Chain A
């Protein structure tokens, strides 16, 4: 079945450093979504990417969908302590069954 892996599993950065998490699917995706989950909270929708090679920006966050629509990345520029949390990608192929990635837990050291 469809699998979605994320790397790294954990990332500790100093405040002000950049951060990137990568998402890789075993199958071609129709679209991909990104969510952020703060410690003790529930996932919050960040963005959806649909087109091959699509790049979208939200302030310090840059999201990219690969040309083959099998991978995606989230890059945060100049991290802040408010960026702490776990970032999940969620992809769907064929049906509307969104499969979540394994997540990347980000810690930002002040």
Chain B
């Protein structure tokens, strides 16, 4: 596609429920990143993919968070048993190659846990 697409754009969920956030990177982009941004804060690194592999998962806040990528394309970020502190905008970014600078960000998924 022309840009990085994320869905849903907004998600309100009850505490304790599981959520899946989807990212469609730009076609042909092999590198994909997930970041979390709380209101008025900076970007917190979660995980990155090189192809379908995730060499560094150290940014995932807890074992309730997981992510996968298939076909060097779509990625899903899953949060199990959501907590109120999970409320944030989850941003996905992609790049043609992990060594090439300049990541294109999607518009994000705003997650609200009530």
Q: Which residues of A contact B (CB under 8 A)?
A: 31, 33, 41-45, 48, 50, 88, 90, 95-103
Contacts and interface: CB of A to CB of B under 8 A. Distances in A.
B42 A97 contact: no
A97 B101 contact: no
17 contacts: A43-B43, A45-B101, A45-B102, A45-B103, A48-B102, A88-B43, A95-B56, A96-B50, A96-B55, A97-B48, A97-B58, A97-B59, A98-B33, A100-B35, A100-B45, A102-B42, A103-B42
Contact of B55 (A31, A48, A95, A101): A95
Contact of B106 (A42, A97, A102): A42
Nearest to A103: B42
Contacts of B50: 96
Contacts of B56: 95-97
B102 A43 contact: no
Contacts of A33: 101-103
| Chain B binding surface, main DSSP class | strand
B105 A44 contact: yes
Contacts of B77: none
A48 to B, nearest CB: 3
Contact of A42 (B58, B98, B101, B105): B105
B104 interface: yes
B107 interface: yes
